[in-house]
Amino acid sequence: MELVEVNQLQAAIDSFAGKDVYLHLETTNGSYASHFNEGFFNAGAFIRNVVINFELGKVVGDSPHRVGLKLPQGWVYAQGITHFEIDEQGRLLLAGHDGSGKLAVALQLSETPFSY
């Protein structure tokens, strides 16, 4: 993955607009957050292989960036995006990695389903 280059990422997001695409969206503090820090309120969400079709997608702000997708009747967004990659299967993988190298958020789009 590379650090987000806004123009390149914007072009990549645009290339998925108006198509049925598979979504992976994840936010996480890690399953050990309240083990190492008792009392920590651990929250996160995970969606994988839900099909969406967005009409407008934008990357906004300085790093860590925010990325939002406007759907005909709804929204998808993620904040904390630092890195991106178009992988060898043409999937757009966005991630937010903290200073210690741990993933905190991921937003991914693919024209074919992600693995299980």
What residues line the site for other proteins (CB under 8 A)? 1, 3, 24, 26, 28, 30-32, 35, 38, 46, 82-83, 85, 87, 91, 93, 95, 97-104, 106, 108, 114-116
Comparing CB distances to other proteins, the nearer of 43 and 72 is 43
β-sheet with 56-60: strand ranges across: 56-60, 65-71, 74-81
Comparing CB distances to other proteins, the nearer of 1 and 56 is 1
Comparing CB distances to other proteins, the nearer of 27 and 70 is 27
17 in Cβ contact with 53 (< 8 Å): no
109 in Cβ contact with 92 (< 8 Å): yes
